[in-house]
Structure 1
Amino acid sequence: MSIARWAADRPLSNHEQIVRTLGLEILTGVYVPGANLPPEPALLSRFGISRTALREVLKTLSAKGLLISKTRVGTRVQDPMHWNYFDADVLAWKVSQGLDETLRRHLVEVRTALEPQGAALAAQRRTAADLAELRRCIAAMTDPGHDQRSFAQADLDFHVAVGTASGNPMMRSFAAVIEVALLASFSLTSPIDSPALQAQVVAAHAAIVDAIEARNAAAAAEAMRAVIQSGFDRA
């Protein structure tokens, strides 16, 4: 199990629960950008915590880009442009509200900017072990017994493997950072209800591996772009 999924499944501490509660209230517009949070005494009374604990909560939310504290102004909600969507909590909270068209488009734009280059690098740097792992991922995606979640996980494992094969640890980390959004997106566009469509999706992913094995960087990048775009188009 990945760190991100383990963190999502384990019980939350009191600090984490309060951070999540306020974080979700910010993302859902209970506290709109530019507005102040309730004054400290109100928050202390609401959550039944110490002033020190509350300040740690606000510090955590500020580190995620959601809040900014200023003397004589108070603690104010930041404009969404400052929110750190590469923070696992912020992204998970956003996805928990539903993967809307805007979020899906933003995700595709970021993926298109990075993943084709990762595939191109994999074509240049892949090892025999990398190819074996990529072929294993393709075989896993071919399994006819998938449900939406398990196919999405197999799809994610493939994209992580491409990042690993790129030899660039930042490429490998990218899929892990946005894991929750990728799983939601892959589940939304899952082809498992149609064996023919599942075979088509698997073949498109296999084309990436074929290009990587052939050390054809341009073809690997183009095949990755096609996979990302077709996934977006299926929803």
Structure 2
Amino acid sequence: MRKKGLLETMMNGPVARTSHSQVVGELGRAIVAGEFPVGATLPGDADLEARFGVSRTVLREAMKTLAAKGLVVPRARIGTRVTAKTQWNLFDSDILTWHFAVGVDEQFLVHLSEIRLGFEPQAAALAARHASEADINQMMLLAVAMGDPAHTPETLALADLRFHLSVIDAARNPFMRTVGSLIEAALAGIFKLSSPAADHIKIGDVAASHMRIVEEIRRRDEDGARRAMETVIRVGRSRLTDTLAQKRP
């Protein structure tokens, strides 16, 4: 079964899951939400088997999955303990999904934009160096498609994601592609809290700013591509923080 991305999960809800993924998902969300706080020991096997109605084998495999994500660590004669948040793999798409499921704050979303600023402008610069003409034409088609006035918040977010991942791919750096879940998480936050899709003028501005990135890549201007990508990320962050400020009491 194909694993849904974060945006799809937010839009359509999770797909039907196996017993293993159900246990991982429910315990993961509970840990992220603080039901089991950092340093706490999870209930014993018998209690968790009763809670989820699964076998011990399924439960232990689920614990291995959570441990691989950095959320828990087994301790002999003590039990399975929730680790410090600094140990969690925030690049993991499941952990990002659980954060959005239980609610994220402005600081979380700002942190996402900061890490994007750390690598996406460089990806744009690398794309200016390495992208083929076919890559550039595809990026321009994706940027133009973002200006469709018929976009809903959901379809605009997906179009945005496709564009940014195309830039990452054109960078020709395999390490860049592995952090695509962070881009998806950031765009999911914008989709959920401050999508420009309701304003056709803003949609036009969004498309134009993304087309500017492609134009700099086409000119093979690495510094220009870097600056254009930085502008897009900073504008998105400003729109998000302004929206959150308006919602505060």
Equivalent residue for 1:126, pick from 117, 122, 131: 131
Label 1:80 to 1:112 Cα distance change in 2 as closer, same or farther (>3 A): same
Gaps of 5+ in 2: 241-249
**Does residue 75 of structure 1 match 2:57?**
no
Q: Which residue in the other structure is 1:56 paired with?
A: 61
Gaps of 5+ in 1: none
Q: Which residue in the other structure is 2:185 paired with?
A: 181
CA-to-partner distance for each residue in 1:98-128, whole Å, 9 max, x for gaps? 3421210111111000000000001111111
Aligned residues: 233
Task: Answer with 108-117 or 2-11: which moved more.
Answer: 2-11
Letter aligned with residue 42 of structure 1: D
CA RMSD in angstroms, aligned pairs only:
1.8
Contact 2:143 2:207 in 1 (8 A): yes
Secondary structure at 2:73 match in 1: strand
CA-to-partner distance for each residue in 1:70-115, whole Å, 9 max, x for gaps? 1122110011111111112111111112342121011111100000
**Does residue 43 of structure 1 match 2:48?**
yes
Contact 1:123 1:217 in 2 (8 A): yes
**Does residue 97 of structure 1 match 2:97?**
no
CA-to-partner distance for each residue in 1:23-44, whole Å, 9 max, x for gaps? 1111111110001011222222
Scaled by the length of structure 2, what TM-score is found?
Answer: 0.88
Whole-angstrom CA distance in 1 between matches of 2:104 and 2:212: 28
Task: Find runs of 4+ consecutive structure 1 residues off by over 6 angstroms.
Answer: none
Scaled by the length of structure 1, what TM-score is found?
Answer: 0.93
CA-to-partner distance for each residue in 1:151-173, whole Å, 9 max, x for gaps? 11111111011111111122233
Whole-angstrom CA distance in 2 between matches of 1:37 and 1:232: 37
Whole-angstrom CA distance in 2 between matches of 1:87 and 1:202: 29
Contact 2:19 2:58 in 1 (8 A): no
Letter aligned with residue 221 of structure 1: R
